[in-house]
């Protein structure tokens, strides 16, 4: 059974830092792109960061770039998302996702991801 389990969510003050982890099992983690998305209180799903199977990272949203860092440990089958300089608008449920298309490169659409975690809440207090 495929599992993606996020952890590390919680409350953080504005300007603070938080690290989220995603533990994967039930599929070949090392051949999958891993990504983090978030769903805001307004129920909008936003992309946060992508990392290919070989560790190529992408953050398309300029306001997130430099504040979020995505990483992976293929040996441990985990992906991490580090948030620095947290802002209130970072408040959301954060989801990790795995995509096996494109030989480990990341899908271009969210619906192309194969597996999704249940999410972990991050609340940034002002």
* Secondary structure (DSSP) of 22-91: EEEESS-GGGSEEEEEEE-TT--EEEEEEE-TT--EE---TTTBTTEEEEEETTTTEEEEEE-S--GGG-
The predicted-structure confidence for 62-114, as pLDDT tens digits, reads as follows 999 999 999 999 999 999 999 999 999 999 999 999 999 999 999 989 999 99
The predicted-structure confidence for 43-63, as pLDDT tens digits, reads as follows 999 999 999 999 999 999 999
């Amino acid at each position: 059974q495929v599992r993606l389990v996020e952890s590390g969510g919680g409350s953080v003050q504005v300007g603070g830092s938080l690290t989220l982890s995603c533990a994967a099992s039930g599929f070949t983690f090392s051949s999958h792109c891993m990504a983090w998305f978030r769903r805001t209180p307004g129920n909008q799903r936003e992309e946060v960061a992508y990392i290919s199977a070989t560790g190529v990272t992408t953050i398309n949203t300029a306001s997130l770039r430099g504040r979020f860092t995505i990483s992976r440990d293929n040996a441990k089958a985990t992906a991490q998302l580090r948030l620095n300089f947290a802002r209130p608008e970072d408040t959301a449920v954060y989801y990790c996702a795995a995509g096996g298309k494109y030989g480990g490169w990341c899908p271009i659409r969210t619906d192309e991801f194969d597996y999704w975690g249940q999410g972990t809440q991050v609340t940034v207090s002002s």
